[in-house]
Chains A and B, each alone.
Chain A
């Protein structure tokens, strides 16, 4: 069973471009979480999704950021018109049925650099 797969591992974008970060959860997992880690800082929750639904987006910036988890395919975190302050590591995690309170499994992250 492959782990949580994120791609790309590294992404460089110029200011004003769009960044698309992909996350394929572990097989059988229907819950996906996105976190942002700024240099020398902890993890900041961004959004929690189930298939085709956004459950909690309280950590998402109001503008330029969006996330989806379609019925088929990976979850996508999309950042439009990137700025230097978006440079960070973005981690995706997945979990199975939440009612069982299992742990979240993390991907290796996408390191976004905005130049």
Chain B
């Protein structure tokens, strides 16, 4: 089946610290992988995506690499800011049509000055 396992939070970091949020997945075939971000009181926004193995998605200083061998898509940022405080969701979209998007449980990040 399809599923996403995401690092549990909450995570609290100081400004300019390095961030890693782990995400691993189970899927048949080669799904597309996504990271979404949810700011307080808002809906989810796409942060970055990768559609095939070894692709690296990047946006706003965040990066994630599609690792087929370890079935992982870890989110990283070299220097976090207070404005990065949000909930981050890892997700996959299976290759076959007729399937939903599968989301992890979300990781809450708080960055303190």
**Which A residues are closer than 8 A to B by beta carbons?**
4, 6, 33, 35, 41-43, 45, 48, 55-56, 91, 93, 95, 98-99, 101-109
Contact = CB atoms under 8 A, between A and B. Distances in A.
Interface stretch (B13-21, B38-46, B70-78): B38-46
Interface string B23-52: 000000001101010000011111001010
Contact of A56 (B42, B93, B100, B104): B100
Nearest to A47: B100
A114 to B, nearest CB: 19
B98 A43 contact: no
A109 B44 CA distance: 9
Across the A-B interface, the 4 shortest Cβ-Cβ residue pairs: A42-B105, A106-B43, A42-B106, A106-B44
Interface of B: 31-32, 34, 36, 42-46, 49, 51, 89, 91, 93, 95, 97-106
Given A99-B97, A103-B49, A108 B102 contact: no
Contact of A101 (B42, B95, B106): B95
A33 B100 CA distance: 7
Given A43-B106, A101-B93, A103-B49, A108 B42 contact: yes
